[in-house]
Amino acid sequence: MTGIRSLAVVSRRALASLGAALAVAFIALSPGAALAGDGDRQVSKMRVTIATGTDDLRNASNAVATLKYTNASGNQLVAGGNLNNGAQWPGGSTKTVTIPMPVGIVLSRLLEFSIQFTSGQPDIFATGDNWNMNSITVTAILDDGSEANLVVQADSPWLHRFQSDYHTRWATPL
């Protein structure tokens, strides 16, 4: 009987040690914990503020913002969203849009910010749209609530003129 009790005590101790080792391994290998230990922050949202110049972003046209980044496995991915959802941005207006980001985008692994413009035609008689972007500010909102400016650019008469069939993409490295 004594031998069986000793085996039971050893088994409980071994099981407790194994459980503790697995818990430590799980915490050490989980991306969130590893990143927090590295002192790097995850991007939870992207806030984009754009000033439109004299040529508006027409109804039915779309401006899509994307962040290109490298994930923990070394793959390059993109995340983003539609800024105007087909709504008009009048000439001389300033619009701010906040886009939620998927989990796993790390501030130090951001590669590029871009806007892809698609000209829309609200009716069959409308010509292709052009849009003047005078300035842009892109801010990363981090998982701890702090913020980091990624892009702050402006130019005159415009920073970039998107045209219906060319110059449809604007990008800047981060």
My answer on whether 63 and 9 are in the same domain is: no
My answer on whether 162 and 95 are in the same domain is: yes
What confidence tier does 11 reach under pLDDT thresholds 50, 70, 90? low
DSSP run (H or E) holding 85: none
My answer on whether 105 and 20 are in the same domain is: no
Q: State pLDDT tens for residues 53-92.
A: 999 999 999 999 999 999 999 999 999 999 999 999 999 9
Q: How far apart are CA 109 and CA 157, in angstroms?
A: 33
My answer on whether 62 and 130 are in the same domain is: yes
By DSSP bridging, strand 43-52 and strand 131-142 are: antiparallel
Q: What is the mean pLDDT of the chain?
A: 85
Do 45 and 80 meet the contact criterion of CB atoms below 8 Å apart? Answer: no
Structural Rg of the chain based on CA atoms: 25
The CATH code of the domain that includes 138 is: 2.60.60.20
Evaluate if residue 26 carries a pLDDT over 90.
no
My answer on whether 66 and 138 are in the same domain is: yes
Question: How many independent structural domains does the chain possess?
Answer: 2
Looking at residue 159, its pLDDT comes to: 98
Which domain does 121 fall in, by range? 41-173
Q: State pLDDT tens for residues 92-129.
A: 999 999 999 999 999 999 999 999 999 998 888 889 99
Burial class for 151, CB neighbours closer than 10 Å (0-12, 13-18, 19+): middle
pTM score: 0.77
Q: Which residue has the higher pLDDT, 124 or 34?
A: 124
My answer on whether 9 and 61 are in the same domain is: no
